[in-house]
Chains A and B, each alone.
Chain A
Amino acid sequence: MAEAEFIIRTEGLNKRFKTVQAVKDLSLNVRKGDIYGFLGPNGAGKTTTIKMILDLINPDSGDVYIKGILTRENGVGVRQGIGYMPERTQFYRNLTALQTMEFFAELKGVDKAECDELLNKMGLEKWKDKKVGTFSKGMVQLMGIGQSLLGSPELLILDEPTSGLDPRWARILKDTMLEVNSNGTTVFFSSHLLSEVQELCNRVAILNKGQLIIEDTVEKVSEGQMQKPKLILKISGDAGAAAQVIRKGGFSDVDFHGNVVSVHCDSHERTKVLNLLAQANIVVDDFRTQEVSLEDAFMKYIGDERSVGGELNGD
């Protein structure tokens, strides 16, 4: 692929904070037109990477190219076409929502008429003359999204954009991301919510402990671990015994918890599993299947650490 078609390209980025290697030899390729999901548990180095892409943090080594231009050498030029929203931010306590938007519009050299428009879009029209210091966290987040959309940027970089938003606004944000993408904006966003990444993105990267684990299409990443769909069975009786029976029948990927047994198997093998249980006189109350998800793949990729699982359920 020609270089110009990569809107973001990083080469061998490294960054160390005192004792922690935050990012290690990281090379990413984001194509023009992608909705690109940047995944990883907390502390994986996502924010550090984003800030290096934006020239906010100086890497210890490595290069960032935006549209083929080395940002270290022409940061001002390339930032013209970028919209960015950090993970969390406060704006200026004593400025109103409209004044804040106008400030960013002026910095970007964008028509101020857009400010009203975007405040409406973000549902803040009633508060546009109120001081931002009085806003709730979610409203500040909406302001942050609003300013990132000023001037219809070519590249939108959002750091954990849906955290802090209620489900309704998270939905509106996701629709907005799809909408601007269909108008030609490349969207790069970090998240630890796998369902939203699976829903929105065409390409993903998984980062763990500062290192890139995989970068590919959502389908490839999901299938990459050669996972089979999951068959989940509810047993009346001892699930442990049922798991034994299934294992003896030739299935290796079997797990149980309470009265639930789960086994990874292809769809044509499901009747075999049910037959094994019937022959052992184990009564199956209920069963369902679960297709391969990005979440399963993610857990496999980064190792099934409890801390990670806790975090994934947390938000």
Chain B
Amino acid sequence: MGIDVNTRAIFTVAKKEFMDNVRNKWILALTIIFIILTLVISFAHGRGELTGAEITVLGLLSISTLLVPIIAIMLGYASISGEAETGSLSVVMAHPIRRVEVLLGKYIGLGAVLSTSIILGFGIAGILIMTGDASDVAGYLVFIGLTILLGLVYLSLSICFSAILKRRVTSLGAGIGLFFWAMIIGSVIMAIFWATGGDLMDLGTTGMPDWMWSSMMILSPSDMYQTATMLGFGLRELAVVGFEISVPDYITLGKLLVIFATWILAPFFVAYYFFKKRDI
């Protein structure tokens, strides 16, 4: 048996997921907060004027690294466990559709809601920034694209947990755990550096050792995202509040995209493995 999937069935599920979740009031509320915060930050960085895409984007990163995982996890955590619990998943699965098609439909539909939220969140501010200074439209678009990839990482992980765990509450717990991991993994790596005899003051002058760069880029999607955004704007060196950040040459945007893709695809396959044998 080869892989034959019914794209119409996938599209049907994707459309349903989109229509249902795009009207979810929590997602709506978070998107509005997103839009307001990006506008505020954009104004602040432009000193009342909207200008200087690179500088503004560095400010926007602090919003997206916080809000995007929240939105993604909210969309994904109950996508399977919750629907199984209410019984509607059993109705869906009693139709002529394969489990892989349901899963793909969910990824695509929820991914579309997530992308819509991000495009609205950054797009409105972006249009205003670019009218002030149209110097780096491409960089800004790359930035939006990378933000969507960051969201897809957390969406994929939370759908994966939802496919593994039986109940809505436990998958909510996993979602919260995932969010904390997203927030603290960078600091954990920093703590390991310090605990193994590293001097935090050295980080400001000589920069991070290679093992730290590698583990940050592989284990912390948020740090990877921020680095990728710098590279997307063509920046390798950056001075922020006394810290000199210099991205080593062996870290390239291409490599980071491969890591992104791995973070998105690997949870999908794990989710499929568990969803396929799940009792619904």
Contacts and interface: CB of A to CB of B under 8 A. Distances in A.
Most buried by A among B23, B24, B90: B90
B170 to A, nearest CB: 16
In the A-B complex, the 10 residue pairs with the closest CB atoms? A89-B87, A84-B94, A94-B23, A90-B86, A107-B95, A92-B20, A57-B279, A106-B12, A56-B280, A80-B96
Contacts of A147: 91
A161 B277 CA distance: 27
Contacts of B8: 106, 109
Given A93-B20, A103-B12, A107-B12, A56 B94 contact: yes
A176 B21 CA distance: 34
Given A51-B279, A54-B94, A91 B19 contact: no
Given A51-B280, A82-B94, 4 more contacts: A51-B279, A79-B94, A106-B12, A109-B8
Contacts of A301: none
A37 interface: no
Q: How large is the interface on B (under 10, 10 to 19, 20 to 34, 35 or more residues)?
A: 20 to 34
Interface in A196-246: none
Contacts of B24: 94
Nearest to A52: B279
Contact of A57 (B19, B23, B280): B280
Q: How large is the interface on A (under 10, 10 to 19, 20 to 34, 35 or more residues)?
A: 20 to 34
A55 B278 CA distance: 11
A86 B87 contact: yes
Nearest to A85: B91
B255 interface: no
A95 B109 CA distance: 14
A55 B15 CA distance: 25
A99 interface: yes
Given A57-B280, A58-B277, A95 B92 contact: no
A1 interface: no
Contacts of B91: 84-86, 89, 91, 104, 144, 147
Contact of A56 (B12, B93, B96, B98): B93
Most buried by A among B8, B12, B15: B12
Contact of B87 (A75, A87, A109): A87
B88 interface: yes
B98 A76 contact: yes
B274 to A, nearest CB: 13
Contacts of B13: 107
A300 interface: no
Interface string B238-275: 00000000000000000000000000000000000000
A89 B12 contact: no
A77 interface: yes
B22 to A, nearest CB: 8
Contacts of B19: 94-95, 99
A104 B95 contact: yes
Interface in B1-60: 8-9, 12-13, 15-16, 19-21, 23-24
B105 to A, nearest CB: 10
Contacts of B97: 76, 79, 107
